[in-house]
Structure 1
Amino acid sequence: MYLATTGRRPDAPPRPTGVGRRVPGTVVALGAVSLVTDVSSEMVTAVLPLYLVLGLGLSPLQFGFLDGLFNGATALVRLLGGRLADRGAGRHRTVAGAGYLLSALSRLGLLMAGGAAGGIAAALAADRLGKGVRTAPRDAMITLSAPPETLGRAFGVHRAMDTTGALLGPLVAFVVLWATADAYDAVFVVSFATGLLGVVVLGLFVPADPSAPPPRAASTRPVPSAFPSAAPTADGSAAPAAGPNAAPGPAGTAARSTADPAFRRVVAAAALLGAATVGDSFLYLLLQRGLDLSAALFPLLPLGAAACYLLLAVPAGRIADRAGRRIPFLLGHGALLAAYLTLLVPSGLPTAVLVLVLLGVFYAATDGVLMALAAPALPAAGRASGLAVLQTGQALARLVGAAGFGAAWTWWGPRPALVAAALALAAALTAAWRILPGRKARR
């Protein structure tokens, strides 16, 4: 267990009985589900660029489109998943479980598609549909089970466990490829079986309603607001109470919460930065070209970024809880900009190590921190829907960014495309600095 080091605010609500100063068990259970699922998904992600570009002969433009589809073309499904999860108590786990199952089944789609581009696109779309359905309900369960003043640490612990799976996935893919003489089908089969295991863990160890207090903690007294410092809503009224144990309210609460000016500014900044983000797969392909790595060693590239992310996720969350979540989020994108610039220098082992470290810093300072930055402005009844709106905006923006970089690579070459991406990210960072809400909305 990870012990808290941050103190409680005097106006914070009472902690659920049994949690104390530890990360809630629901967060740890969800972390275990994500760990197993990420082993499954990262096995495929690690070999996908080689399978599509080198194995099937796709151009960078075609790969850019599929990579964008793989990461962002599920906007409506994200919104639907969040809305379904908010329809009643206990729905978050059901909706998330359906998403995990769909992603696992998509591995069989890759296996049966062979070299057909349509089949591959359908399988990738199914995987992203599953991710789109499950992500908002899962993150909402984290925010509903953890005290708001420790959301950064809770997300840090979850993302650290999630990244452990991302670290193990490429290793498993490497072992399978080595043992089967580069048989990609074997990777897809093992990935499918591992994904099913994640669904089982979710059903056995994650409670149906993470926001419900233990029976002995039940009380007839009203629960005080967990977010007294939340920004007012767009019409000037106070934001609805959104404590982690608040009972679900009307569905219209979600729509009112997403109109909050501070939340809308977070969504705008995340989308703007997402549009200037180059997909990781492109960065790994650039490193592979510079280092002239063999196909068997290519799946090991994500390990450096995953290891750095694993080490920094919890400290980054704690820093965000103490100092505010806006600055770490912006600094994380600054690390990504530094990675782009590093790739412009002559390639070598030191360059590769630095790029992977900077990628790890980027994810540690942005992934869970963004959810912790936005969640306090959302009521419990609309938490999944609101987070889905945020994730949708970011995903659509990254779809545009991935497709745009693939097109630039195809038309101009990799180096001019990377220069354009660095300039775009620098401009987006400058704008996001002004767009993101100030200190009152950080906690």
Structure 2
Amino acid sequence: MYLADGRPAPSPSVSPGGRRAGRGRRVRAAVPSTVLVLGAVSLITDISSEMVTAVLPLYLVAELGLSPLGFGVLDGVYNGVSALVRLVGGRLSDRGGGRGHKAVAAVGYGLSALCKPLLLMVHTLPLIGAVLAVDRTGKGLRTAPRDAMISLAAEPAARGRAFGVHRAMDTAGALCGPLVAFVLLRAAAEGYDAVFTVSFCVAVLGVVVLLLFVPGRALPAAEDTAGRAPDGPRTPVRALLRRPQVRRLTACAVLLGLTTVSDSFLYLALQRRLDLPAGWFPLLPLGTAAAYLSLAVPMGAMADRIGRRRLFLAGHLVLLGAYGLLLAPFGGGAGLVCAVLLLHGAFYAATDGVLAAATADAVPEDARGSGLAVVQTGQTAARFVCSLAFGAAWSAWGDRTAVLAAAVGLALAAALSARLLRPAAPAPAPAPAPAPNSPSEHTP
């Protein structure tokens, strides 16, 4: 059970990889109240966003008649536009100090809320793409400042657990959103209109909770292992990329993101293989969300113990297993659905908050928003490219060949990332100089 407590407690030092310096000491840090309130905001917002995400693929492909390539373009916009503004959001929040994080996050949440009713008014590819671009702009603005507030509020040694608690609350919203969409699609005469309207109302509630209950200034819970220079000049992005740990994490996030198929395409591939009825499609994200919800906190705690970068890489191998099940010539039915969605949720539990915690270890406090944005931008931009490429491959060769290409690419990317994240070998210690009276100085 996690208790809200804003008081910092002393903690053992943490290496950049997320290991504790003292193996014999166990840290039982309470989850700060800031993390819990931000988790509540994310829970509410994810109910809103996942209501739309759950029905959007089917709405665009079945209702509006978009081709897989057309959906790939929109899905790329949905995931890629946020990459263009994450650096802006992180940089603006750092320049505003502790209060800047909340202000920029509030603008981002507000933009996304305003886009929900606009989906009722647009029915062409360019206009839908524009609305989705604005929605993702809001997500891009808010993600780095929100994660910066979490990392500053949490104890360094328990940062993985703090992110795990936040992501678990966030995923609880992702679990509820598709359920609400499923009920609305079956109960309302104009199902899609009802989904978009209710989504807007819920998103507004999330913005209100953020403004009223999140502290205006995030205070560090303890001395940061990455260094702190609050009174000096802000660290520019170029200087961040000159840090070896940040550069390697960014490179790995890009490599692995280039072969990470978007959730929507994975659900479409699963639906095509099993020929699921359209009315059941919104329930597929529930399996992912349920697995993520149950594993987020244990995976975050595991990252604090075994190393955050190591678990991040292992999570992508779990995703590779999900690709393999989609390609397997045997199996089917409920068993295949449960296995794929379980692996998909475990992938997110082992990578999402874990990458943010690993990045926070490598970035100083005064540039926390910018540092998180650098790594997240690289990952999101890579996933944008993957959506475009996967949509084109699906249109040209079919879904199975596209999944096979993604699986081969992910295996290669994981191998390269393992080399990049391998800790540098320590330099050999110089040989001690012989003592003045050692036998080597005397002739026999």
Fold shared, TM-score > 0.5 on shorter chain: yes
Give, in whole Å, the separation in 1 of the partners of 2:195 and 2:422.
Answer: 44
User: Deviation digits for residues 265-323 of structure 1, max 9, x if unmatched?
Assistant: 00000110000111111111111122222222110001011000000000000010011
Give the structure 1 partner of residue 101 of structure 2. Answer: 92
Q: Name the structure 1 match of 2:361.
A: 376
What are the superposed Cα offsets for residues 329-381 of structure 1, whole Å, 9 maximum, x if unpaired?
Answer: 11110110010110012432211110000001100000000011111111111
In structure 2, the CA distance between the partners of 1:362 and 1:248, relative to structure 1 (3 Å rule), is: farther
Question: Which aligned pairs between 1:25-36 and structure 2 lie closer than 5 A?
Answer: 25-36=33-44
Cα distance between partner residues in 1 of 2:272 and 2:28: 50
Aligned to 1:305: 288
Mapped partners of 1:387, 1:44: distance in 2: 26
* Alignment partners' CA distance in 2, 1:100 and 1:80: 15
Aligned to 2:402: 417
Deviation at 1:255, TM superposition (A): 4.2
1:323 maps to 306
Matched, 1:201 2:199: no
Instruction: Report SS of the residue matched to 1:86.
Output: helix
Q: Larger deviation: 19-28 or 171-180? A: 19-28
- Residues 231-284 of structure 1, C-alpha deviations (whole Å, 9 max, x = no match): xxxxxxxxxx23xxx736422355423320111000000110000111111111
**Map of 1:350 onto structure 2:** 335
Contact 2:29 2:158 in 1 (8 A): no
- The range that moved more, 119-128 or 250-259, is 250-259
Q: Secondary structure at the match of 1:296?
A: helix
1:145 alignment counterpart: 153
Q: Which whole-Å CA distance do the structure 2 matches of 1:386 and 1:69 have between them?
A: 23
Give the 3 Å change call, closer, same or farther, for CA 385–68 of structure 1 in structure 2.
same
Report the residue type matching 1:400 in the other structure.
V
User: Over residues 213-239 of structure 1, what are the superposed CA-to-partner deviations in whole Å (9 max), with x where a residue is unaligned?
Assistant: 7xxxxxxxxx8x531xx5xxxxxxxxx
Change (3 A) 1:354 1:87: same
State the number of aligned residues.
407
* Equivalent-residue separation in structure 2 for 1:375 and 1:212 (angstroms): 12
Q: CA deviation at 1:31?
A: 0.2
Cα distance in 2, alignment partners of residues 9 and 20 from structure 1: 11
Contact kept in structure 2, 1:34 and 1:161, CA below 8 Å = yes
1:135/1:428 Cα in 2 relative to 1: closer, same or farther (>3 Å)? same
State the shift of 1:427 in Å.
0.4
The alpha-carbon distance between structure 1 residues 295 and 365, as it changes in their structure 2 partners (threshold 3 A), is same
Matches within 5 A, 1:123-134: 123-134=131-142
**Is 1:393 matched up with 2:396?**
no
- Does the 8 A contact of 2:249 with 2:359 survive in 1? yes
The answer as to 2:186 corresponding to 1:183 is: no
Which of 402, 410, 421 is the equivalent residue of 1:436? 421
The residue that corresponds to 2:91 in the other structure is 83
What is the rounded CA distance, in whole Å, between the counterparts of 2:414 and 2:10 in structure 1? 31
Give the whole-Å Cα distance in 2 for the aligned partners of 1:63 and 1:11. Answer: 43
The one-letter amino acid paired with 2:160 is: G
Cα distance change, pair 87–53 in 1 and its aligned pair in 2 (3 A) = same
Unaligned runs of 5+ in 1: 13-18, 214-222, 231-240
The residue number in structure 2 matching 1:226 is 224
In 1, the alpha carbon distance for the partners of 2:240 and 2:87 equals 14
For residues 28 and 51 of structure 1, the distance between their equivalents in structure 2, rounded to whole angstroms, comes to 34
Mapping for residues 23-62 of structure 1, pairs under 5 Å: 23-62=31-70
Contact 1:262 1:437 in 2 (8 A): no
Structure 1 position 367 matched with structure 2 position 352? yes
AA at the equivalent of 2:83: A
Determine if contact 2:109/2:207 at 8 Å carries over to the other structure: yes
Match of 1:257 among 240, 253, 261: 240
Cα contact 2:86–2:377 (8 A) shared by 1: yes
TM-score by length of 1: 0.88
Residue 382 of structure 1 aligns with an amino acid whose one-letter code is A
Aligned CA-pair RMSD: 2.1
Q: Distance in 2 between matches of 1:165 and 1:402?
A: 24
Residue identity in the other structure for 1:368: G
Instruction: Answer yes or no: is the 8 Å Cα contact 1:248–1:380 preserved in 2.
Output: no
Task: Name the structure 2 match of 1:2.
Answer: 2
Q: 1-side partners of 2:233 and 2:118: how far apart?
A: 39
Shift of 1:210: 1.3
> Which residue of structure 2 lines up, in the alignment, with residue 216 of structure 1?
none
The residue identity in structure 2 corresponding to 1:416 is: T
TM-superposed deviation, 1:150: 0.7
